[in-house]
Amino acid sequence: MTGPSCPRRVGTVTFRAVILPALTWLALPLLLGPLLASRSRRGEAIARVVLAGFTVGALVVGAETAVPGELARYAAATPGNALFVSLTLGLLIGALGPWPWPPDRWPQVVALPVLAGAVAAMWGNGPHWSGLLLGAVLGALPLVAGRTLPGGGVVREPDLSEAAPGWWLAITAAIALAEPLVLILLLPMPWLLPGRRRGWPTPVLRRLCMPLLALAFGVALVWLAVTVAGTPWIRLGDYISAAPLSAGAERLAAVLALGMVVALAAPWPLTPIAPLLLPVPAVVLLAHRFATDLAPQGVAAWLPAVAMFLVPSAVMEAFRGRWAGALGSIAVLGGLLGNAWGLVAGLVLALVSVTPSLRRTAPVRGVDRVTFLTSPWLAAPVAGALAVVVAALLRSEVVLATLLTAGLATALARRAAPPVRTP
C-alpha cells in the first residue's frame, strides 16, 4: 500500500519510519484503555486500539513515516498525498472519537496524545476536508455498528480441558530450542495416543482426521527436505543456508508446510472436526520457522491464499463469540508473516487463546468461558498484539488487513451480554 504520487524508496521501510514515528509512541497510551475501561466497554476499548494500529500502520506503509512534521511535508507535496493523509488521519479520529454516546471516560483520556499528534500533522497546510470527514465516518462505523449488535463479551467455547498439556509444552520447547527438522512430526502425535480426552470428538474418525492429515503433510515435507539436505538431523534454523531449495522445490515445500500448519491449527470451518487449542503456540512458532528458515519465498508466495482462509475464519469466529478460535487463527497468521513483531504478537495471542484450556474457568461442561474480555490484564496484551498483526499484514495484504480490522472492531464493540449456556 502506497500513498498517491508517493515514489517508493529502494529497500524496506526505514529505521526512522519504524522506530521513531511520533504517532506510534503517542498511540502507546491507548493500551491503557482496556485496563481502565469498564467491563461492558472493554471490547470497545480493544477495538479502538486495533483501529489505531491499522491507521498508524497505513501511514508507515503508505507515506513511510508517521512523524507529524514529515506527514505535513508529505501531504503538501501533491493533492493526492494530502487526500491520503487526511483520509487516514480521519480514520484515526473517527476510531478514537467520543462515540458511541455516552463515551467511556478513561479510553477517551488516553486517546488525547495521539489525537493531538494527528492535529499537529494537519496543522499549517490544512486538511483535505472531504477526505477527513469520510475517514472519520469510516473509522467510527465499526464502533457504532458494533453497539447495535447484541452478544458482545460472551465467549462460546466447549470444555477444552484436554489431558497432559505437558506434551504440548515439551514439543514447543523442543521446536524452539533443539530444532531438528524431524521433530515437526511430533506435533500431531498426542492426538493419536490411545484413550479418550474430555472435549475431544467422540467418533474416532473425526478425532483422527486432522491429526492424520497434518502427519501426512509433515511426512511428505520431511521426506522432501531430507532428500535435498541428505541428512535427517539437519536443524530447521540452518536449513536455508545448508540446503537451499530450488524455486520449484521451495514452493512445493511451502504448500506442504502450510498444509501442515492449517491442519494443526484447525481454524473454522475445520473447528468442529478438531476443536483443540493447546498446540497453537507450537504451531505459531513452527509457522514462523517455516516462513523464515525453510521456504521463505515459497511461504510469501502462498501467504495471500492462506490469509484468504485465515482472515474470514477469524472474523466468523469473532462474530460467533468463539474468541479462542479467532485469536488462534490470527496468531497463526502472525507467525506466517515471517518477522519478529508478527511472531511475538502471534505467541501472545496463542497463549491467550489457550487460557481456557490451561486454566479451569468454568466448572460445568458447556458453560461459556470468558478470557481477555473480562480480564483487563489479558485485554491490554491482546489489544497490542492484534494491532501489530493488522499493521504488519498491511505490508502485503491491504484488502485482507482492512477486512480483518473492520470485522474484529465490529465484533469487539458489541454490547456485552450476560453469559448463557451452550449445548
User: Contact at 8 Å (CB) between 58 and 13?
Assistant: no
User: What is the pLDDT at residue 360?
Assistant: 41
422 pLDDT higher than 50: no
Each residue of 4-16: pLDDT tens digit? 444 444 334 444 4
User: What is the pLDDT at residue 305?
Assistant: 93
User: What is the pLDDT at residue 372?
Assistant: 79
Higher per-residue confidence, 132 vs 181: 132
Query: Sorting pLDDT into bands at 50, 70 and 90, what band is 150?
Result: low
Q: For the whole model, what pTM was predicted? A: 0.85
362 pLDDT higher than 70: no
Higher per-residue confidence, 106 vs 118: 118
Query: Over pLDDT 90: what percentage of the chain?
Result: 28
| Mean pLDDT within 378-387 | 92
| Neighbouring residues of 41: CB distance < 8 A, sequence distance ≥ 6 | 104, 107, 416
Higher per-residue confidence, 254 vs 170: 254
- For the chain, the average pLDDT equals 78
Each residue of 314-342: pLDDT tens digit? 999 888 888 888 898 999 999 999 888 99
Higher per-residue confidence, 71 vs 358: 71
199 pLDDT higher than 90: no
Higher per-residue confidence, 181 vs 54: 54
Query: Sorting pLDDT into bands at 50, 70 and 90, what band is 209?
Result: confident
